[in-house]
Amino acid sequence: MKTLVVGLGGVTNGGKTTLAEKLKKMLPNCDVICQDDFFKPESEVETDERGFKLYDVLDALYMDELVGSIHSWLKSRTSSGVVTGEPQKNTEVCILIVEGFLLFNYEPLNEVWNRRYFLTLPYEECKRRRSTRVYQPADKPGYFDGHVWPMYLKYKNELEESASNIVYLDGTKSQEELLSCMYSDIIQELKKPRE
């Protein structure tokens, strides 16, 4: 049984969850893990001097548990899966999509990715989308500009300086266009020989 692990990271409100769920429906034998499911409880998240809860940092997440979930998925795959379309190879593949805003800045995850995608948005569009969402706890006034956006820029800059093999996607494009791009790319990846 071969596996393909796809990381879908990027900006808050960039469309990661929507794309991951749509891809799951399109790709047979595909599962999704959401990084948001690994947030620590509010009481364990640090607060800065402005009173902002620091959710947009790795310390706000149970990252070891996320890594453990991915490794458990890799170990538990069975022999039902996707046929790559090449009759002579006829190899079945299980696909895992891991989506979240801080996936590629955490060293222990770097060994698991077969493909990495990073959604970007310009500041104004990101802020507009973020303002339409309701969070628990709710965003305080100034939270986006004081914490969320600066942390996104920090982690994005780190990626651009150190990480390779990341496909950057423009989150202002239509969901259909982004979905088509990712789907085609994943299908191409499935056709490559696996170890």
Assess if residue 135 is contained within a domain.
yes
The pLDDT value recorded for residue 90 is 47
* Chain centre to alpha carbon of residue 140: 25
Can you give the pLDDT at residue 79? Answer: 38
Is residue 96 a part of any domain in this protein?
yes
Check 36, 37, 48, 64 and give the catalytic one.
36
Residue 54 lies in a domain: yes
Which segments in the chain show pLDDT lower than 50?
A: 78-90
Give the per-residue pLDDT at 180: 96
Q: Quick one: pLDDT at residue 58?
A: 95
Q: Is residue 134 part of a domain?
A: yes
Is 31 domain-assigned?
yes
CA gap 127, 92 in Å, rounded: 42
Task: Identify whether 185 is part of a domain.
Answer: no
**DSSP single-letter state for residue 138:** P
Q: What is the pLDDT of residue 91?
A: 58
Token pair of 144, please? 């986006």
Q: Which CATH number do you get for residue 73? A: 3.40.50.300
Domain-located, residue 40: yes
Burial class (CB in 10 A: 0-12, 13-18, 19+), 107: exposed
List the alpha helices (DSSP H) in the chain. 16-26, 63-76, 123-131, 143, 149-162, 175-191
* 5 is a domain residue: no
Q: What angle do CA 146, 151, 154 make, to 5 degrees?
A: 130
How many domains are contained in the chain? 1
Structural domain harbouring 49: 26-79+91-115+124-172
Q: Is 36 a catalytic residue?
A: yes
- Count other Cβ atoms within 10 Å, centred on residue 61: 22
Which 3 state secondary structure label does DSSP give 166?
strand
pTM: 0.88
The Cα 64–Cα 35 span in angstroms is 11
